[in-house]
Structure formats: structure tokens, C-alpha cells
Amino acid sequence: MKNPAEPLYGEWKFELEKDLVIGEKEEESSLFVSPRDVKIDKEENIYILDVRAYKIHKFSKEGKYLLSIGRKGEGPGEFVQASNFSVDTNGKIYTFDIMGYRLTIFDSNGKFIKQIKIGKFIDSSSVDKEGRIFGLISNWDESGVYLLLTEVFEKTVTLERSLQREWMVSLSGRT
């Protein structure tokens, strides 16, 4: 496969314009070590997961630092290695810890609610309008059969297969 000499659809040019800056050097509480994921809640607050700082930082829509959630560790409200998170319509924050194999839930003020041991590696996650949590698991056992996540939250787990031979896990029910 070769690229054509001329772009098929012409050249696209665009300019980026600075709209909002978060993490100014003067604000020690908002400096990032290794930002990985960003979410915005219904009030337009901005959440940024900093995986090497073991925290989720929350900012107002104007970029003002509000609070940090989590810290390194294995206890309640702590992360071994948070990989991704979601924010639901009520402001609850659902954080998947890929090395702790668990889900940690916080309220919108960063207060720890609960931690649920999942026992599987969750690659990515999302929460829908009904409060259902979706997680993508990509672990395969030796025979190539997908490792099934069952009975999370003491509810039934349903699976839907995507075209890329990955599975989307729906953890039914609300937390």
C-alpha cells in the first residue's frame, strides 16, 4: 500500500486557539505528573486522572482547582494503579484500578463511598444515563476463551461481542 503523491481530499489546515489552561506552574496542586484520562460532569467540572500521582484532580469549568481524589495505596479510596474512570449524571466518580482489580466509587465531593473487588483487568469504562457501568475486559485464558466477569454488585453481568473480538461488560443495576 502506498500513499498517493497528492492527498485525496486536499490539504487540511487549522489553527489551535488557547481556550483554557489547567495546571499552571504557579498552582502546585494542579501540576500533573502523568495525566491519562479526562471527563466532564453535567456542571461542566473537569476531572483529570493523573496515574503516576495516584489522583483524580477536579477543576471548575473555568479551570480553577477544586480538589484531588485518591492517593497511592491498597486501602479504601486508594489506588494501586488507576487506569480510567467515569462520572455519572449524579456526579459519582467510578475509578477502575487495573492492578488492584477493583472499582472505587467516590461522591462528587471526593468522599469515598465504596470499593468493589472485580478480579479482572478493566481496560476502559463508561457510565450511562441509567447508572449502568460498562467496562471493557481484554483478558483471554490459554484456550482463547474469554474470561467472564460474573456476579459483580451481586447482579447479573451481560456481555456483548464487538467486531474486534473484544467484549463489553455491562454491570447491570445501579450503585
**What pLDDT score does 75 carry?**
92
> Taking the C-alpha atoms of 63, 67, 70 and 71 in order, what is their torsion angle to the nearest 10 degrees?
90
3-state secondary structure of 154: helix
> What is the Cα–Cα distance from 155 to 87, expressed in whole angstroms?
21
The model's pLDDT over 85-122, given as tens digits with 9 standing for 90+, comes to 989 888 999 898 888 888 899 999 999 999 888 776 77
The model's pLDDT over 43-94, given as tens digits with 9 standing for 90+, comes to 999 999 999 999 999 999 998 889 999 999 999 999 999 988 989 888 999 8
32 secondary structure, DSSP code: -
Strand partners of residue 56: 49, 69
**What pLDDT score does 171 carry?**
45
**Which residues neighbour 154 within 8 Å (Cβ) at sequence distance 6 or greater?**
none
Amino acid at 39: K
Q: Which domains does the chain have, with CATH numbers?
A: 29-171 (2.120.10.30)
